[in-house]
Structure 1
Amino acid sequence: METAVEMARRVLAPATQSEFDRRVEQQARILVDELRRGELDSQGFATGLEVELYAVDDEGRLVHVPPATFEEAGCGKEFGLHNVELNTPPTAFDAAGIETQASAIRRKLETAREVMSRQGLRLVLDGMWTIPPAEGSIAYLSDVDEIDGITIAANMSSDPRYYAIDNHVLERSGGSVGVEVPGARHAFPSILIESLTSSIQPHLQVPRTEEFPTYYNVALRTLGPVLALATNSPFLPADMYNAVEDDRRLVEETFHELRIPVFERTVNAGSWEKACVPPDLETAEDVVDRLVEDSTCAPFLFEWGRKENESEGDEPCWELVHKYGTYWRWVRSVIGDEADERGEGRSLRIEYRPLPTQPSVEDVIGLHCLVTGLIRGLVAAEHPIVELSWADARDGFYNAMRDGLDAELHWVTEDGDPTTEPERIYPELFAFARRGLREQGLSDAEAEAYIAPLATRWHERTTPSGWKKRRVEARLDEGRPLSDAIESMQTEYLRRSRTDEPFVEWE
Structure 2
Amino acid sequence: MDTVAFVRRSLSTDAEQTFSERVDRQADRLKRAIADGAFDSDGLSVGLELEATVLDQSGDAPVTLGRVPDAAFSTAGVAPELGVHNLEVNAAPAPLSTSGLRRQRSQIADAIDAARRAVGPTRDLALSGMAPAPAADGTVAYLSAVEDRDGVTVARNMHADPRYIAIDNDSLRRAGGSIPFSVPGFEHAFPTILFESLATSIQPHVLVPEAEALPRALAAAIRTLGPVLSLSTNSPLLPADCYTGADPEAVLADTHHELRIAAFEQSVNHTDRPKVAVPADVTAPGDAVDAIAGDDTLAPVLFEWLREASEDRSGLDVYWELRHKRGLFWRWVRPVFGGDPVAGICDQQSIRIEYRPLPTQPTVSETVGLTALVAGVIHGIVVTDHPVLDLERAAAESCFYDVVENGPTADLAWIDRDGEPLTDRDRVWADLFRTARAGLADADVDSSDADDLLAPIERRAETGVVPSQWLLDRCEAALDGGRSFPEAIRTAQAAYRQRARSGRPVAEWSVE
Provide TM-score, normalisation by structure 1: 0.97
Q: Which amino acid aligns with 1:52?
A: E
Q: For 2:22 and 2:271, how far apart are their aligned partners in 1?
A: 25
Give how far 1:270 is off: 4.6
Are the counterparts in 2 of residues 378 and 436 from structure 1 also a CA contact under 8 Å? yes
Superimposed CA distance per residue, residues 263-287 of structure 1 (whole angstroms, 9 cap, x where no aligned partner) = 1011101523000001111110111
Superimposed CA distance per residue, residues 163-218 of structure 1 (whole angstroms, 9 cap, x where no aligned partner) = 00000000000011111111111100000011010000001111110111111101
Partner of 1:293: 294
The 3-state SS of whatever aligns with 1:340 is coil
Distance 1:130 1:107, change over 3 A: closer
Give how far 1:242 is off: 4.8
Quick one: which of 94, 102, 127 aligns to 2:105?
102
Superimposed CA distance per residue, residues 423-466 of structure 1 (whole angstroms, 9 cap, x where no aligned partner) = 22111111111121111111111000011111110111100000
The 3-state SS of whatever aligns with 1:479 is coil
Q: How much identity, in percent, do the aligned residues show?
A: 43
Q: For 1:390 and 1:74, how far apart are their aligned partners in 2?
A: 36
Q: Does 1:265 align with 2:275?
A: no
Q: Which amino acid aligns with 2:227?
A: P
Are the counterparts in 1 of residues 43 and 209 from structure 2 also a CA contact under 8 Å? yes
Superimposed CA distance per residue, residues 395-420 of structure 1 (whole angstroms, 9 cap, x where no aligned partner) = 00000011111101100000000121
Partner of 2:218: 216
Q: For 2:341 and 2:235, how far apart are their aligned partners in 1?
A: 30
What are the ranges of 5 or more consecutive residues in structure 2 without an aligned counterpart? none
Partner of 1:497: 500
Superimposed CA distance per residue, residues 60-106 of structure 1 (whole angstroms, 9 cap, x where no aligned partner) = 31111122321136400000000010011112211111122111111
Are the counterparts in 2 of residues 373 and 435 from structure 1 also a CA contact under 8 Å? yes
The correspondence of residues 43-442 of structure 1 with structure 2, limited to 5 A, is: 43-58=42-57, 59-72=62-75, 74-118=77-121, 120-242=122-244, 244=246, 246-307=247-308, 311-314=312-315, 315-337=317-339, 339-342=341-344, 343-442=346-445
Partner of 2:14: 15
Q: Which runs of 4+ in 1 moved over 3 A?
A: 307-311
Are the counterparts in 2 of residues 65 and 83 from structure 1 also a CA contact under 8 Å? yes
The 3-state SS of whatever aligns with 1:43 is coil
Give how far 1:250 is off: 1.4
Q: Which amino acid aligns with 1:197?
A: A
Give how far 1:363 is off: 0.8
Distance 1:243 1:386, change over 3 A: farther
Q: For 1:506 and 1:38, how far apart are their aligned partners in 2?
A: 49
Superimposed CA distance per residue, residues 38-67 of structure 1 (whole angstroms, 9 cap, x where no aligned partner) = 221112211100000010022431111122
Give how far 1:337 is off: 3.1
Q: For 1:300 and 1:87, how far apart are their aligned partners in 2?
A: 24
Q: For 1:98 and 1:231, how far apart are their aligned partners in 2?
A: 23
Are the counterparts in 2 of residues 41 and 209 from structure 1 also a CA contact under 8 Å? yes
Give how far 1:468 is off: 0.3
The correspondence of residues 476-495 of structure 1 with structure 2, limited to 5 A, is: 476-495=479-498
What are the ranges of 5 or more consecutive residues in structure 1 without an aligned counterpart? none
Are the counterparts in 1 of residues 303 and 309 from structure 2 also a CA contact under 8 Å? no
Further displaced range: 332-341 or 463-472: 332-341
Superimposed CA distance per residue, residues 262-321 of structure 1 (whole angstroms, 9 cap, x where no aligned partner) = 110111015230000011111101111001110111111111122599943452111001
Superimposed CA distance per residue, residues 220-276 of structure 1 (whole angstroms, 9 cap, x where no aligned partner) = 0000010010000000112112563x3112101111111001110111015230000
Q: For 1:237 and 1:345, how far apart are their aligned partners in 2?
A: 40
Are the counterparts in 1 of residues 200 and 360 from structure 2 also a CA contact under 8 Å? yes
Query: Number of residue pairs matched?
Result: 504
Q: For 1:99 and 1:403, how far apart are their aligned partners in 2?
A: 33
The 3-state SS of whatever aligns with 2:49 is strand
Q: Which amino acid aligns with 1:36?
A: A
Superimposed CA distance per residue, residues 137-183 of structure 1 (whole angstroms, 9 cap, x where no aligned partner) = 00000000010111000000000100000000000000111111111
